[in-house]
Chain A
Amino acid sequence: MCGIVGLFIKNSKLESQLGALVAPMLSEMTERGPDSAGMAVYRDPNERGCKITVLTQQVDFDWANFEKSVSTNFSVNKFFVNQNHAVLSLGSSINEVEDWLQSNWAELSVTSAGSNIEIFKGKGNPSDFIEQFDIKSMTGTHALGHTRMATESAITTEHSHPFSTGQDLCLVHNGSLSNHNRLRETLRRVGVQFKTDNDSEVAAGYLSWRLSEGDDLDEALNHAIEDLDGFYTFAIGTKDGFAVMRDPIGCKPAIMAETDDWAAMSSEYRAIATLPGAENARIWEPEPTQIYSWKRS
């Protein structure tokens, strides 16, 4: 069991409250996933270059030294540290920055890359995660969150969701995949890299691979229905919005709701109930294998 929440702001006046609105949703999903939590937030686009989030496993990592090293090599638009993560908005391409990180700072792992996305995650109770990362103060256009109850692999920050699936893309998953070991090997052979033995990371890797093969998101998800065996409700964050899809059996729960001000999805209604105007929202359950998406027009 895991919990998923997604919130897409339609009324731009609410963008300043994104974190304050999504934090109680995530908190409400604690019982579904008390092991770890994570959040992808889309905000402050850095169109002239890239935005990358990095994560360290070291408790006493010297961020000041890292920042110095970044600023000597790149033009820095913005750099900030949040707990064991740092977000780098730089004037270079994603490939340049990732190659440089790989060669010089291999102990850091990249949790997200794009122009808008930032991904933060940590093991432990979701309410601690919300406090430590100060989720409530975050602004932005949309956010996707996850609370994890681990069933098939270890509880670490790197095993936590969301998983990056490409530029400005991320995946959160409720369910379990049964063919992830074989699929991971197949994907490794075509060059997809994995950091953990987590099944959801394989789904993320699969989508990244399909997208790199030229699929659009809908095509990639339709291929996933064919190639992924197991139970899943997926929520995929994109630069402009997010998409939701359930497996053909529709085993894992999902509920969606929309008002004039926002569109939301969650594993359960009680997370949506925390939003203003939820009692009068249009509410429905997504059909199996149907892709539902919201986009900024």
Chain B
Amino acid sequence: MTTIDLKKSTIRELNEKLQGGSPGKKFIVNNTVGKHALSVGLTKEIDVEINGHVGYYCAGMNQEASIKINGNAGPGLAENMMSGEVRVTGNASQYAGATAHGGLLIIEGDASSRCGISMKGMNIIVGGNIGHMSAFMAQSGNLVVCGDAGDALGDSIYETKIFVRGKVKSLGTDCVEKEMKKEHKDELAKLLEMAKMNYSVDEFRRYGSARKLYNFDIDQVDDY
């Protein structure tokens, strides 16, 4: 186990150490004080535990690594993640998990606006609420919200599945409520288990694309 103190190490030194870590290694990062771009570009199966709040773009482009943040995260958490797992014990700011292709992002608290914007295969599980314009143009993967969702959820969504346990303030264009079939309940149960969130799948509703924006339709012109 290696401990890195950001009072003594620069962010570049931290990321170089983490990127060079061999699979199975464990790292602890202390004294983060809201610094940017911590633990980014990791490609190996290592464990990173970050103690404290982090700033912009933490865990960006993550592959294989498992990163736990004991605190809150600033904007752009796990942006463009490919695989692995990122867990935040507090809240996450804007556009968490944006454009991410894979992996698991768990936010135990609330996520702010634009969570999962243009996500492309990642699974996001939020313990609390999410802000407005979440899952905008989301293409695939799952967004699970154990609390409430803000305005314009899933606007112009493609094939991401959204599960919300609480209230949805409003749905975006072309996003509709959909039937919860057995296959969806099974998938949701698996995700909740992975995130260690103890809720019954029956408490959730599913939302997804009405697929009316896939092809140009003159009658829908106001919605484009």
Instruction: Tell me if B93 and A250 are in contact (CB < 8 A).
Output: no
A26 to B117, CA, bound (A): 32
Query: Does A67 have its Cβ within 8 Å of any Cβ on chain B?
Result: no
Are B113 and A269 touching (Cβ within 8 A)?
A: no
Nearest-neighbour CB distance to chain A for B73, whole angstroms, equals 9
- A256-297 CB mask vs B (1 if < 8 Å, else 0) is 000000000000111111100001000111011000000000
* Residue of A whose beta carbon sits closest to that of B113: A250
Q: With A and B bound together, what is the CA distance between A232 and B119 in angstroms?
A: 26
Q: Does A230 contact B (CB under 8 A)?
A: no
Known: A253-B93, A283-B53. A268 touches B113 (CB 8 A): no
Partner of B55, one of A250, A268, A274: A268
Contact B55 A269 (CB under 8 A): yes
In this complex, which of A273, A284, A285 has the most chain B Cβ atoms within 10 angstroms of its Cβ? A285
Whether, in the assembled complex, B52 has its beta carbon less than 8 Å from a beta carbon of chain A, the answer is yes
A273 surroundings in chain B (CB, below 8 A): 33-34, 53
B residues less than 8 Å from A279 (CB atoms): 52
Asked if B103 is at the interface (CB within 8 A of a chain A CB), the reply is no
A250/B34 in contact, CB under 8 A = no
Complex alpha-carbon distance, A284 and B91, angstroms: 8
List residues of chain A with CB within 8 A of the CB of B90: 283
Name the interface residues of B66-112: CB closer than 8 Å to any CB of A. 72, 74-75, 90-91, 93-94, 112
CB of A269 within 8 A of CB of B74, answer: yes
**Contact yes or no, B35 A270, CB < 8 A:** yes
Using A268-B55, A270-B33 as known contacts, say yes or no to A288 and B93 having CB atoms under 8 A apart: no
Chain B residues, CB < 8 A from A284: 91
Task: Assign chain A's interface to a size class.
Answer: 10 to 19
What is the bound-complex CA distance between A287 and B56, given in angstroms?
18
Given the complex, which residues of B lie within 8 Å of A285, measured CB to CB? 91, 93, 112
The B-contacting residues of A in range 227-268, CB under 8 angstroms, are 249-250, 253, 255, 268
Interface size class on chain B is: 10 to 19
Residue of B nearest to A252 (CB): B94
CB distance from A257 to the nearest CB of B (A): 10
What is the CA–CA distance of A279 and B32 in the complex, to the nearest angstrom? 11
Q: How far does the Cβ of A265 sit from chain B's closest Cβ, in whole Å?
A: 14
Residues of A within 8 A of B52 (CB): 279
B44 within 8 A of A: no
B131 at the interface (CB under 8 A from A): yes
Q: Is A288 touching B132 in the complex (CB atoms < 8 A)?
A: yes
Question: What's the Cα separation between A283 and B73 when bound, in Å?
Answer: 11
Q: In the complex, what distance in Å separates the CA atom of A274 from the CA atom of B53?
A: 12
Are B132 and A250 in contact (CB-based, < 8 A)?
Answer: yes
- CB neighbours of B132 from chain A (8 A): 250, 288
Contacts of A287 in B (CB 8 A): 131
Q: Which of these, B33, B72, B75, B113, contacts A283 with CB under 8 Å?
A: B72
Is the beta-carbon distance between A270 and B34 smaller than 8 angstroms? yes
A249 neighbours in B (Cβ, 8 Å): 133
Cα distance A273–B91 in the bound complex, in angstroms: 16
Contact check, B91 vs A268: say whether CB atoms are below 8 A apart: no
A271 and B55 CA atoms in complex are apart in Å by 11
- Give Cα distance in the complex from A287 to B129, angstroms: 12
Q: Which residues of the other chain, B, contact A283 by a CB distance below 8 angstroms? A: 53, 72, 90-91
- Other-chain residue from A250, A253, A269 in contact with B53 (beta carbon distance below 8 A): A269
Partner of A268, one of B34, B112, B131: B34
Given contacts A270-B33, A285-B91, A285-B93, contact A253 B75 (CB under 8 A): yes
The residue that A250 contacts in the complex, of B33, B72, B91, B131, with Cβ under 8 A, is B131
Contact B94 A253 (CB under 8 A): yes
A-B contacts, 22 of them at CB < 8 A, read: A250-B131, A255-B93, A268-B55, A268-B56, A268-B74, A269-B33, A269-B34, A269-B53, A269-B55, A270-B35, A270-B55, A271-B34, A273-B33, A273-B53, A274-B33, A279-B52, A283-B53, A283-B91, A284-B91, A285-B93, A285-B112, A288-B113
For the complex of A and B, 4 pairs with smallest distance between CB atoms: A270-B34, A269-B34, A273-B33, A273-B34
| 12 more CB-based (< 8 A) A-B contacts, given A250-B112, A269-B53, A288-B132 | A249-B133, A250-B131, A268-B55, A268-B74, A270-B34, A270-B35, A270-B55, A271-B34, A273-B34, A283-B72, A283-B90, A287-B131
